A and B are shown apart, each in its own frame.
Chain A
Amino acid sequence: MPDGATPFGRCGCARGPGGGIEGLLHGLVGAMEHAGAAESTAARRGLLQALDPRAKLIGLGALILSVTLTHRLAVLAALFALAVGLAMASRLGPGRMARQVWLGVALFSGALALPALVLVPGPAILHLPGLGWPVTAPGLTSAAFLLGRAETAASFAALLILTTPWSHVLKAMRAVGVPVGLVGLLGMTHRYIFLLLQTALQMFEARRARMLGPPGVAARRRMLVAGVGVLLTRSLALAGEVHLAMVARGYRGDVRLIDDFRLRPRDGLAAGVALLVPVAILLGGR
């Protein structure tokens, strides 16, 4: 199978006929595959790819902290610009960032931010066309903060994930003192979610293959309800099996991986500069 292809079609772009729940599953499997595709963006030669995972974890963590600390739109905008700049320097074009981060976050947090436009009291600056609801200046600021914070924080997080093999992200977490249990859990969750989605998709496809003609809406809903219970027990069983397979090979709860990291001066420098940002924000009166 070529890279980027799943057993279910190319990188989840393939939609099952009729979309709906299957389309969603295809999409999710695709997203998980992107995590696999992140292994390929992680292998590109770029600014962040060249840094030690621990330095990246600390540095990008500091920038995410800055995003939550600041109360100035200009600072937020500067941080977002920094995220875009880092992405470009790491060979992640705006198109990729938009597809994998910005669009999804905009949809999700946009839904939360929109009501703020009209709900926050203040002087109206314009009226929503059609509805005539007043959009207030404080409302606009509040919505901009919500959206800006979410987008910028997500961008920094995505930069870490997209420029670092997942196993190294986990190992870096261990290295900076995240407890074994949590890291192990994250590692397993990643794998389990993938297995779960694959199982779900296979179940749906197996069922559909046994039916004559496309299912109606009611039939689809029945399939879904019946499927969820089976799916949960199945994936739990599968998760248990995977765990046994790890135990059989000597796993006792700690994540040990092959690449031992080496901190070079530039790694320290990058993390140090990034750490200055939240400090400056705190000192500069946020």
Chain B
Amino acid sequence: MSAVFSLSSVGFSYREWVALDGIDLTVTTGERVALLGPNGSGKSTLLRLLCGLAFATTGEVRAFGAPLTEARLTQVAENTAFRRRLGLVFQSPDVQLFNATVLDEIAFGPLQLGWSRAQVLAAVDAMLDRFGLGALRHRAPHRLSGGEKKKVALASVLVTEPEVLLLDEPTAALDPRSRDDLLDLLSGDLVRGRTVITATHEMDSVAGIAARAVVIAGGRIAADAPVAKVLADTLLLRRVGLIRGAGRLRLEA
């Protein structure tokens, strides 16, 4: 299996604030990885680095076998080739959705990648169908409900069929029903065959969306193991703040 991403002692700072430090991580083709960490641990920052929206301040990020640098992505051909292969669904759909209609929103990615009009329309229709969004086709994305927004955001990224899918808290702030809906989509054949990296701090959804869990705390990797093993390690999860301390302690005592 070839490596999709390999990071060696990667660090990243927002000005003087160190958000990531000493990250070593390899993700191979087809893997489904959960990035677990409490608020502010650096999950979103790591996804940005993987997606080439920010660049490591120290260490090296390699993507698809080559170093991922700002210089590489300023070349049009390289940029298009790279963007075609991976998609990022942002944490906040209000950031992700900027088009006038749902149709334009889903068509945006394919159009930027230079697909023909017929190809774009066929792909958009397939996505609307798949996500049950047909009725919303001409609605303004910023006026949809939270659950609908998340679906449109996901559809707008999946439409280009990226090999690698980066999801930033796909189920945060959804009601249980919408959450289950979305989790179904994320464990079904929509994502089959793709490399999927999902950032989350919701422990109960992890098992369905990943086989491997990477725990991040304070910008460092605290654990990297199969999901079952990480979920069983309550000591670790409590230490990094992913599960509540007091309640569990009493149960165990």
Contacts and interface: CB of A to CB of B under 8 A. Distances in A.
Interface stretch (A73-81, A117-125, A228-236, A255-263): A255-263
Given A36-B140, A165-B100, A258-B120, A249 B83 contact: yes
Given A165-B100, A249-B109, 4 more contacts: A5-B143, A250-B84, A250-B113, A257-B104
Nearest to A188: B98
A258 B107 contact: yes
Interface string B71-101: 0000010011001100110101011101111
Contacts of A99: none
Nearest to B166: A248
Nearest to B111: A256
A241 B90 contact: yes
Contacts of A195: 94
Q: Interface residues of B toward A: which range? A: 35 or more
B98 A248 contact: no
B87 A256 contact: no
Most buried by A among B98, B113, B140, B156: B98
A39 B111 contact: no
B58 to A, nearest CB: 21
Contacts of B103: 258
Contact of B96 (A245, A256, A260): A245
Given A39-B100, A39-B101, A250-B83, A242 B95 contact: yes
Most buried by A among B104, B120, B124: B104
A249 B112 contact: yes
A250 B80 contact: yes
Contacts of B111: 256-258
Contact of A194 (B139, B142, B160): B142
B112 A250 contact: yes
Contacts of B236: none
Given A245-B90, A249-B156, A252-B112, A258 B98 contact: no
A176 interface: no
Contacts of A245: 90, 95-96, 98
A13 interface: no
Nearest to A260: B117
A39 B160 CA distance: 27
Contacts of A166: 100
Nearest to A192: B98
